[in-house]
Amino acid sequence: METAATLNNSAVALTEANKPFEAIPLFREALNLEPENPLLWLNLGIAQQKTGEYAEAIESFMRSITIDNDISDAWNSMGLIYYELNEFVLAENCYHAALMCNNEDPKIWNNLGVLYFNTHSFEDARNCFEKTISIFPQFKDALINLRDTCRELGDFRAAAEFERVILNLDITNRT
């Protein structure tokens, strides 16, 4: 008999191999064994999100959070869904909830910055991207986002500096 952990591991591997439709039944089987496991609900939600089943994914993330409110990945993933659905206030609320759980996750700060950038709140976006690279200085997407935000703000000197950092990062990664 398979355990919830082995089913979860197999399903996560399938999700990562871009086979979320195959992963979902395994997550459900694992949840039959451990229905109060918040990580199983989180992982099911991630697979559902990849299939475009957003309502089901949000339901799974909410179940995960109901069991353990401190799962920042569930809040962050819901934020991504709401962002994609142009529900920016809900997305922002989810990102802030994620940051309450884990204030040092650069992905969350970057996602919040992207939301602010795309809603033309450039100063807020800049603050988020600066926080992102203070946590993870080589986060290329955040550096690009920060460069672009500086351009929008007319801070071309800072934009040029971030461009230099990005180019150096590319050179370093090639060697």
Q: What is the pLDDT of residues 116-173, one digit of tens each?
A: 999 999 999 999 999 999 999 999 999 999 999 999 999 999 999 999 999 998 787 6
Q: 2-9 — which CB contacts under 8 Å span 24+ positions?
A: 2/29, 3/33, 4/30, 4/31, 4/33, 4/34, 4/37, 4/40, 5/30, 7/33, 8/39, 8/40, 8/43
> Average pLDDT in the 3-8 region?
96
Amino acid at 80: L
> Average pLDDT in the 74-95 region?
98
Does residue 174 have a pLDDT over 70?
Answer: no
21 CB burial (10 A radius; 0-12, 13-18, 19+): middle
User: What pLDDT does 13 receive?
Assistant: 97
User: What pLDDT does 171 receive?
Assistant: 80
Tokens representing 1 are 């008999």
Report the distance separating Cα 20 and Cα 78, nearest Å. Answer: 17
Report the distance separating Cα 87 and Cα 79, nearest Å. Answer: 9
User: What pLDDT does 175 receive?
Assistant: 56
Residues of the chain with CATH 1.25.40.10: 1-103, 106-175
| Higher per-residue confidence, 1 vs 37 | 37
The CATH architecture assigned to 1-103 reads Alpha Horseshoe (1.25)
Whole-prediction pTM: 0.92
User: What pLDDT does 42 receive?
Assistant: 98
> Average pLDDT in the 73-94 region?
98
User: What pLDDT does 93 receive?
Assistant: 98
pLDDT one-digit tens code per residue, 9-59: 999 999 999 999 999 999 999 999 999 999 999 999 999 999 999 999 999
User: What pLDDT does 129 receive?
Assistant: 98
Amino acid at 31: L
Q: Options 3.20.20.70, 1.10.287.3510, 3.90.1570.10, 1.25.40.10; which CATH number does 106-175 get?
A: 1.25.40.10
User: What pLDDT does 139 receive?
Assistant: 96
Report the distance separating Cα 141 and Cα 128, nearest Å. Answer: 12
Q: CB–CB of 42/60 below 8 Å?
A: yes
